[in-house]
């Protein structure tokens, strides 16, 4: 039995408009939420054309020369903007009938390229029971025929499996938004006795330790600790079996250990170096994000909501550091990376 994707109705019109305006093909991303029970697709986003295509009105080449790097870069940028609980669920291609045979091979390549790009920047590991199927949607621009398949991105040799694509209205109307603010103050020590300093690598190591602290923290929903199998909407007023149309908001607080994180990994050698500045200088990279808040759109039980919340907190800070290093490289040259 294949997976079923419940898709926001507006996406159908969006894809139909793309199929009439853009030839011979157009690619894009599918945004939504997956869980062991069901998958939701709430947005489709086309791959933006390159500047030279926009300026010179150059038509797209054949699928054999599709620009994977451009598409994966777009996926990374989109992923940075998504709130917790939402992710890039797959890729779509709308192509003319003569390109239909090539489309499935192109989709398979893109699915794995996009997932590899997104996985590389994560500071957390997926759970063993986590859904690893990603959608590959193929649409014929002439007949409007829709074919949805999935690939297991954890298996490089994975073959396509059929999936259902069902349109529904107001998919996210009853979802709950979890609002969270976290103050972050991280010190990352760099020893002067080390011959080389890769600031990006050291910062990522420091963030890995901080992310572990976030994963081990206690989370309070509206001031309460909830059991993993508790439904977030439990006890809230329902109308005819459905949640009220207005968005439900819950406040989340994060309780972390009081001990500063960097004392967990400072060795005696490092501490001795720190207190002897005449022999070696102790460098510190100071990161401060006073507050960040995102909406976390969740439909499942507390355990899955908590997982999405933790990952979004970790991703938010990691993405900001990544943007910082990209800015240094672009504006000041690659040598500034260290």
Q: Which residue has the tokens 């599918």?
A: 30
**Percentage of residues in the chain having pLDDT higher than 90:** 29
Average model confidence (pLDDT) across the chain? 77
Q: What is the pLDDT of residue 284?
A: 40
* Sheet of 218-221, strands arranged across: 218-221, 248-255, 176-180, 295-298
What does the pLDDT look like over 59-75, one tens digit per residue? Answer: 556 776 788 999 999 99
Sorting pLDDT into bands at 50, 70 and 90, what band is 224?
Answer: confident
The more confident residue out of 205 and 113 is: 113
Mean per-residue pLDDT, 236-261? 59
Total-model pTM:
0.80
CA–CA gap between residue 254 and residue 291 (Å, rounded): 12
* Segment 8-42, tens digit of pLDDT: 999 999 999 998 887 789 999 999 998 877 899 99
pLDDT score at 247 = 55
Q: What is the DSSP string of 52-120?
A: HHHHHTPPP--GGG--HHHHHHHHHHHHHHPPTT-EEEEEEEEE-GGGHHHHHHHHHHHHHHHHHHHHH
DSSP 8-state symbol, 328: H
DSSP string of 261-312?
A: GGGGT--HHHHHHHT-TTT--EEEEEEEE-----EEEE-SBHHHHHHHHHHH
DSSP of 155-174: -TTPPPEE-EEEEES-TTTT
Contacts of 231 (CB under 8 A, 6+ apart): 301, 302
Phi, psi (deg, nearest 5) at residue 179: -105, 130
Looking at 127-136, 159-168, 267-276, which range is the least confident one? 267-276
pLDDT in tens, 182-197: 888 777 776 666 656 6
Pairing assessment for the beta strands 248-255 and 39-46 based on DSSP bridges = unpaired
Domains of the chain by residue range: 4-168, 175-237+246-332
Phi and psi at residue 63, in whole multiples of 5°?
-60, -25
Contact status, residue 190 vs residue 197, Cβ threshold 8 Å: yes
248: confidence class by pLDDT, cuts 50, 70, 90: low
CATH class as words, domain 4-168? alpha beta
């Amino acid at each position: 039995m294949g997976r079923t994707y419940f898709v926001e109705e507006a996406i159908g019109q969006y894809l139909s408009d793309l199929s009439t305006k853009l030839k011979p093909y157009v690619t894009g991303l599918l945004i939504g939420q997956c869980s062991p029970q069901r998958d939701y697709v709430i947005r489709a986003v086309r791959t933006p054309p390159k500047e030279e295509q926009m300026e010179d009105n150059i038509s797209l080449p054949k699928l054999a020369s599709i620009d994977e790097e451009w598409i994966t870069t777009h996926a990374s940028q989109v992923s940075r903007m998504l709130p917790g609980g939402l992710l890039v669920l797959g890729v779509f291609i709308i192509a003319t009938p003569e390109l239909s045979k090539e489309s499935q091979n192109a989709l398979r390549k893109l699915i794995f390229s996009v997932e590899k790009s997104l996985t590389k920047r994560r500071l957390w590991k997926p759970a063993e029971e986590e859904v690893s199927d990603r959608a590959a949607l193929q649409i014929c621009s002439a007949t409007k025929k829709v074919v949805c398949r999935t690939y297991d991105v954890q298996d490089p040799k994975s073959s396509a499996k059929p999936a259902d694509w069902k349109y529904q209205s107001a998919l996210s109307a009853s979802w709950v938004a979890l609002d969270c603010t976290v103050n972050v103050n991280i010190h990352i020590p760099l020893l002067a006795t080390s011959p080389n300093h890769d600031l990006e690598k050291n910062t990522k190591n420091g963030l890995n330790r901080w992310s572990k602290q976030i994963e081990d923290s206690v989370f309070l929903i509206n001031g309460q600790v909830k059991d993993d199998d508790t439904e977030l909407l439990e006890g809230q007023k329902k109308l005819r079996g459905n949640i009220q149309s207005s968005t439900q908001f819950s406040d989340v607080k994060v309780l972390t250990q009081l001990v500063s994180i960097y004392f967990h990994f400072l060795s005696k050698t490092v501490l001795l170096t720190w207190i002897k500045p005449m022999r070696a200088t102790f460098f510190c990279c100071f990161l401060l994000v006073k507050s960040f808040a995102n909406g976390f759109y969740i439909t499942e039980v507390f355990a899955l909501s908590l997982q999405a919340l933790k990952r979004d907190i970790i991703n938010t800070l990691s993405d900001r550091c990544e943007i910082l290093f990209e800015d240094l490289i672009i504006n000041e040259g690659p040598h500034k990376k260290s």
